[in-house]
Amino acid sequence: MLELNIKNETSRLRAVVLGSAVNNGPTPKEEEAYDPKSLEHILAGTYPVEKDMVDEMEAFNAVLKKYNVTVYRPEMIENYNQIFTRDIGFVIDDVFVKSNILPDRERELDAIQYIIDQINPKKVVRPPEKVHIEGGDVMLWNDYIFIGTYKGSDYKDYITARTNIQGVQYIKDLFPNKIVKEFDLVKSKIEARDNALHLDCCFQPVGNDKGIIYKNGFREEADYLFLVNLFGKENLFHITRDEMYNMNSNIFSIDTNVVVSERNFTRLNNWLRTNDFVVEEIPYAEIAKQEGLLRCSTLPLIRD
């Protein structure tokens, strides 16, 4: 049996599901794009090719192995994008929540069923159909659960709006002892530089008391200020619009002082090192073209 335990984003990682780019399928057609950044690269002819993405994910896998993390991979589905495991489920404390994802992606859950089968069935839940929630919008910070959402009345018009207010309420009901705080995110169907697809596109804690933040990813300044007050402004690394677009807030913590980051994130990586983090730099720029990065391609199961 897998004894799940996730209380925050940064304590020592022991087991994780890492996505896979093997047999990723052909470049999607324009109308098949799920987000504006993928669309941009489809139209420009710069959409990533499978071999490059496999190499990037293997570099990530090698770092996880170096730290003796148990790494699970999804079973291969032919011609199918299985990179972003964060979307399909997430763990809070010792509970595995299956996401209600875009219907086209349902098979991604089947590919990790062999892992779910190792969890106590009483600890696996699936929200009702009208509840939308994806792992990229759910962030644990000890007593807090941060959730990204979109409160606009035009929610249903946005394929980039992935977690609804019913999703927030569902988590509140499931974890009454936690402080659940939702954040209303800026969405765009057409401009990737103004689209916070998930909360981890504009915020992520690192270490014990620090975080990476993009102020303009929040529709309400009050939501941004809540995080500033909680973490302290001096503990937050503010990223620019272009850095947000390149996914600088979507790095991944293996421990409170060990971070996996993209090798091109010079400004961020320098800041992390200045703050005594070990930064494991890997190439991940091709995968980033699909509006997801390191956190998006992991589904942590056990942290100390």
Does the residue 44 lie in any domain? yes
Does the residue 1 lie in any domain? no
Q: Looking at residue 177, which CATH number applies to its domain?
A: 3.75.10.10
Domains held by the chain: number: 1
Residue 211 · residue 205 · CB < 8 Å: yes
Does the residue 198 lie in any domain? yes
Does the residue 94 lie in any domain? yes
Amino acid at 136: G
Does the residue 7 lie in any domain? no
Residue 115 · residue 23 · CB < 8 Å: no
Q: What is the residue range of 198's domain?
A: 13-303
Does the residue 184 lie in any domain? yes
User: Would you give per-residue pLDDT tens digits along the chain (304 residues)?
Assistant: 999 999 999 999 999 999 999 998 888 888 887 677 888 888 888 888 999 999 999 999 999 999 999 999 999 999 999 999 999 999 999 999 999 877 778 899 999 999 999 999 999 999 998 998 989 999 999 999 999 998 877 756 655 557 889 999 999 999 999 999 999 998 666 566 766 778 999 999 999 999 999 999 999 999 999 999 999 999 999 999 999 989 999 999 999 999 999 999 999 999 999 999 999 999 999 998 887 899 999 999 999 9
Cα gap 154→265, rounded to integer Å: 34
Cα gap 232→301, rounded to integer Å: 29
Beta bridge mates, 205: 211
Does the residue 95 lie in any domain? yes
Cα gap 304→255, rounded to integer Å: 9
Look-up: residue for tokens 């399909």? 88
Does the residue 34 lie in any domain? yes
